Amino acid sequence: MNNLFKHILQFIGLSLLQIVVLNHINLFGYINPMVYIAWVFLFPFKKNKFSLLISSFLLGLTIDFFSDSGGINAAATLFIAYFRIPILKIICQKSDIDSPFFKLNNIATYKIFLLIFSLTMVHHFIVFSLEYFKLSDLDSIIYNTFITGIFSIFLSILGIILFTSKNK
């Protein structure tokens, strides 16, 4: 019960942070980092995977409602929620994940970074592809993915370090 409350608070907190602050940063004129996907990184691995899919979809849709972007964020967030475990399996050995004591804190820092990096880049690439919706704009899509991705990764790692350190 306590855990559920914590998750709901996290959901609302992340969406408000994205809508109220991060969508209006406009760093260098056009960079708006998307940190709400930290939800997918922070969601416990041993929890029901169905609830991760549904909650990620709803979180993406919430962001879409506020930024008038159709279903772009919902599609991208759902995609990385589904491919979180497969990508982790590529990064770590398979036996690690299958053990019942598996926790993100136990694996090496660079592997966590690799996980966050790949998921963020995939997410941003889907978001910008669906937003531009034109193959001829591929250079702008890749450019935006990388520039925005770097800031999103930086902010999410900073946030994760700040807010999860006391749990260790």
Partner 1 sequence: MQQIIYFIKKFKYFLLFVFLEFIAFVFTFQHHSYHKSKFVNSANFITGGIYNELNSITEYLNLKSENKLLIEENTHLKNLLEQRNSVAPITINTVIDTVKYFQKYEYTVAKIINNNYTKRNNILTLNKGTNQGVTQDLGVINGKGVIGVIKNVSSNYATVISILNSYSKINVRLKNNTHYGTLVWDGNDYNTVQITDMPRQAKIKLGDTVITGGKSTIFPEGIPIGVIKNFEFKSQQYKKIDVALFNDMSAISNVQIVKNLQREEQKSLEQKTENE
Nearer to partner 1 by Cβ, of 73 and 156: the residue is 73
Give burial (CB, 10 Å; 0-12/13-18/19+) of 58: middle
- Residues whose CB is less than 8 angstroms from the CB of residue 144 and which lie 6 or more positions away in sequence, other chains included: 30, 124, 128
- Site residues (CB under 8 A) for partner 1? 19-20, 26, 29-32, 49-50, 53-54, 57, 60-61, 64-72, 74-75, 78-79, 82, 130-133, 137, 140
Nearer to partner 1 by Cβ, of 86 and 100: the residue is 86
- Report, in Å, the least distance between residue 1 CB and partner 1: 25
- Report, in Å, the least distance between residue 113 CB and partner 1: 26
Nearer to partner 1 by Cβ, of 116 and 141: the residue is 141
- Residues whose CB is less than 8 angstroms from the CB of residue 121 and which lie 6 or more positions away in sequence, other chains included: 145, 146, 149
**Interaxial angle between packed helices 109-132 and 72-82, expressed in degrees from 0 to 180 and rounded to the nearest 10:** 150
Instruction: Report the alpha-carbon distance of residue 77 to residue 127 in Å, rounded.
Output: 9
Nearer to partner 1 by Cβ, of 68 and 98: the residue is 68
Instruction: Report the alpha-carbon distance of residue 6 to residue 168 in Å, rounded.
Output: 17
- Report, in Å, the least distance between residue 12 CB and partner 1: 12
Closest C-alpha to 84, from 150, 149, 37, 129: 37
Nearer to partner 1 by Cβ, of 98 and 168: the residue is 98
- Report, in Å, the least distance between residue 37 CB and partner 1: 14
- Report, in Å, the least distance between residue 53 CB and partner 1: 6
